[in-house]
Amino acid sequence: MDTPESSSEVAAEPTGSTYTVKVDGAESEVTLSELQQGYQRQADYTRKTQELASERQRLEQAEAIVSALEADPQGALTALSSAFGIEDSRQPSSTDEWEDEPDPQEQRIASLEATVAQQTRATRQTALEKEVAVLHSKYGDFDADALYRHALSNRIPNLEAAYAHMNFGSLATYAGKLHQEREITESKRSAKVESGTSRQAGVVTSTASEKPMSIREAFANAKKEHGT
């Protein structure tokens, strides 16, 4: 049977009711809202503590792998073979003592190196295809194989830089020719305008002419002309 005290605790209390909690051995009165906030903080603290513990466990596992590689290379190679899905290719012992027996450890190392090399090639190929797609979107259609050969022969690691280097010679020559022709045209136009100038109050006025095209503009026009 409930006592009067317990009955009063079960009964619904107004919003301003308080609860007694003990923190570090000291009792204090808190409201329901403060009690809920304290519970939420405790839950957040517990979650973060668990995350830190999980991270610490992963670091300990990594340290254990390093220690295993240093202390027992053969056992570590066996574990790595299992992780990469490479079967242990041990050969049965030969009865001929003079026959060279393949080293199982060297075979596992070779298998691991081949797997890693294959994965690396696949990753690089994907990256190259993405880079070429970006260049196609910028400069239009071009021979990707020719670009690869040019980059390799000139040791240019960046494909966009290799593209600019591959096309710079012809475009620069064409741009320089355009610039020279533009200068000749402008000089002839200036000579004609000079002969037809009007003098007003001692000031020579002439028809405004366009400024000579810069190398950058000539290069852009040359690029457009070549369709690159």
Q: Show which of 140, 156, 188 is a domain's final residue.
A: 140
Which residues does 21 contact at the CB level (< 8 Å), separation at least 6? 27, 28, 30, 35, 38
Decide if pLDDT at 173 tops 80: no
Cα angle 159-152-170, degrees, rounded to a multiple of 5 = 65
Q: What is the domain range of residue 130?
A: 104-140
Mark whether 122 and 179 lie in a shared domain.
Answer: no
Query: Residues of the chain with pLDDT > 70: what percent?
Result: 52
| pLDDT per residue as tens digits for the range 67-105 | 666 666 666 566 655 555 555 555 444 445 555 677 888
Percent of the chain with pLDDT over 90: 0
Looking from the CA of 205 toward its CB, the CA atoms found within 13 Å total: 5
Reading the block at residue 86, the tokens are: 């490479």
Residue 96 belongs to a domain:
no
Alpha helices in the chain (DSSP H): 4-10, 32-71, 73-84, 104-139, 144-153, 159-195, 215-225
- pLDDT, one tens digit per residue, over 22-55 is 767 777 777 777 767 776 777 778 888 888 887 7
Residue 15 domain-assigned (yes or no): no
Confidence category of residue 204, pLDDT binned at 50, 70, 90? very low
Per-residue pLDDT tens digits for 63-74: 766 666 666 666
Q: Is 153 found in the same domain as 131?
A: no
- Any domain includes 149: yes
**Number of domains composing the chain:** 3
Instruction: Check residue 167 and give its pLDDT.
Output: 81
